[in-house]
Chains A and B, each alone.
Chain A
Amino acid sequence: MTVTAPEAAPYFDITDPDFSITSAAVHEARERSWYARTNYGLAVLRYEEVSRLLKHPKLRQGSAAWPAHNGVTEGPFAKWWASWVLNKEGEEHHRLRRLMNPAFSHKLIAGLVPRFQALAAELINGFREPGRCEFVSEFAEPYAARVIAIMLGMPESEWRVIARESATIGLAMGVTIRQDLPKIEAALAALYAYADELIAERRREERDDFVSALVRAQRDSDRLSADELRDGLVLLIFGGFDTTRNQLGLAMQSFVRHPDQWRLLAERPELGGRAVEEVMRVNPTTRWVTREAHEDFTYQGLDIPAGTTVHLFTESAGTDPRVFGDGAFDITAERKPHFGFGGGAHHCLGHFVARSDMSEALPLLARRMRDPRIEDGAEWLPDSGNTGPIRLPIAFTPAT
């Protein structure tokens, strides 16, 4: 075993606006050391170590304290945040997960595939110009929001509410959370009102759908309480929308860089699933997954004191030459799994949905949008913890 002395570890200021988490500097650091130090604790850079630490029993999910760190300790937002399955640990977490998991099973999701296909086709048919689109507002955003509307059995025409209110709640991830709190809490109230109505409808009359499955969810004699149901539904709206939108935008970016792979996907739509995995390996929207040490421990000779924040760098792990060799983007390759959905007890609850909807969308896009090019005017979120395009104008050759 090689042990890297602490002073030899690379250092990154991850709050510097010029820091890029997928930069050559990060990749070079990965070749010197399995971890780096940052102004927010440790960054883990290599595949094997990311894989182990993601599920390490001494680490817990690292997001729970965010609002409190920023002075938000009470009120509806703080309460909702604390209710998240992501922010619970141990038996409290497992209980929620047990109750929610069955509604997310791939068997139930499979029934939605024809809706996903129809939705993708409708959006592409609706592009304002024949050989050009703004991919985020004309595809990724409505697709991600309407998939959630489909899951929740809401009228798809109301997707803009999902998009708008989720974006406002997203302000809570920023350092201006306190100033934004009134807006955030208004958006939260709007989504609660939707959730309450969806639940009330299912209580009046059961349906064969996702929300009914959650309302019915039962394990031994335990069920989700009324509060848990509405908190959970609002979390699903919030947690499923931005991520899917951003990941679709990043998929487009990856394929613009690899036109041969895009043509291959158009010819072989059955590669849709593999395409999603390959994009998430090299271009994941969740660029880091956060953990926090709940006890002192030593890992590979490195002492990690309780309270240390640990960021697992997903792109750096996904392009680690120790595991992926030269790792050329290839949607036909058999690969080890990526970490774009996190892992361990907190592994993304919605991954079967996200995998299924994206693997339907991408081949259809590849068939209809030949030779895509990114035009001037693209805008991006910083290349940091969560990323993706804000605007992505694409020119292409239309095909049927």
Chain B
Amino acid sequence: MKVIVDMAKCQDHGQCAIAAPEVFEMNEEGRLVYDGEPGEERRLEVEEAADVCPVQAILIKD
């Protein structure tokens, strides 16, 4: 599965990191870092992260 976060849109709210902590993480400065190619077993969580992002910055590609 491919995950793309539109970093121009992302506001570092970290809601994705709450929904899918194995894939999204907030670093020491409170900025988003993420795994762009998580395993298929993470699909449900990643979909939830995309749903919950307040600015809808997360795109899941197949």
- A-to-B contact residues, CB < 8 Å: 51-52, 55-57, 94, 97-98, 101-102, 105-107, 337, 341, 343-345, 347, 351
Closest to A95 in B: B18
Question: Which residues in B have their C-beta under 8 angstroms from that of A343?
Answer: 11, 13, 54
Would A98 and B19 count as touching, CB distance under 8 A?
Answer: yes
A344 to B13: give the CA distance in the assembly, Å: 4
CA distance A98 to B20 in the complex (A): 9
Q: Which residue on chain A has the smallest CB distance to residue B20?
A: A98
- Residue B35 CB within 8 A of the other chain: no
**Interface residues as binary, B14-32 with A (CB distance below 8 Å gives 1, 0 otherwise):** 1100110100001011100
A223-B16 Cα distance, complex, nearest whole Å: 20
Q: Is B59 an interface residue (CB 8 A)?
A: no
List chain A residues, Cβ under 8 A from B15.
97, 101, 345, 347
For the complex, what is the distance from the CA of A227 to the CA of B13, rounded to whole Å? Answer: 28
Q: Are B51 and A107 in contact (CB under 8 A)?
A: yes
A78 CB, nearest partner CB in chain B, Å: 26
Query: Counting chain A CB atoms within 10 Å of each CB, which of B13, B19, B26 scores highest?
Result: B13
Tell me the B residues contacting A by CB distance below 8 Å.
Answer: 11-15, 18-19, 21, 26, 28-30, 48, 51-52, 54-55
Find B13's partner among A57, A102, A347 (CB 8 Å cutoff): A347
Q: Could you say which residues of chain B place their CB within 8 Å of the CB of A107?
A: 51
Query: Contact: B51 with A55, CB < 8 Å?
Result: no
Given A345-B15, A347-B15, A347-B54, 4 other A-B contacts at CB below 8 A?
A: A102-B48, A337-B55, A343-B11, A345-B13
Question: Contact at A105–B52, with CB atoms within 8 Å?
Answer: yes
Chain A residue at smallest Cβ distance from B56 = A106
Q: Point out the residue from A57, A101, A337, A345 that lies within 8 Å of B11, measured CB to CB.
A: A337
- Report how far A107 CA is from B48 CA in the complex, Å: 12
Which chain A residues lie closer than 8 Å to B26 at the CB level? 55, 57
Flag if A351 contacts B28 (CB, 8 Å). Answer: no
Whether the Cβ atoms of B14 and A344 lie closer than 8 Å is yes
Beta-carbon nearest neighbor of B21 in chain A:
A94
Chain A's nearest CB lies how many Å from the CB of B45? 9
Tell me the complex Cα distance, A24–B54, Å.
31
Contact B14 A55 (CB under 8 A): yes
Given known A-B contacts A98-B19, A105-B52, A106-B51, A51 and B11 have beta carbons under 8 A apart: yes
Whether A341 lies near B54 (C-beta < 8 A) is yes
Cβ–Cβ contact A56 & B30, under 8 A: yes
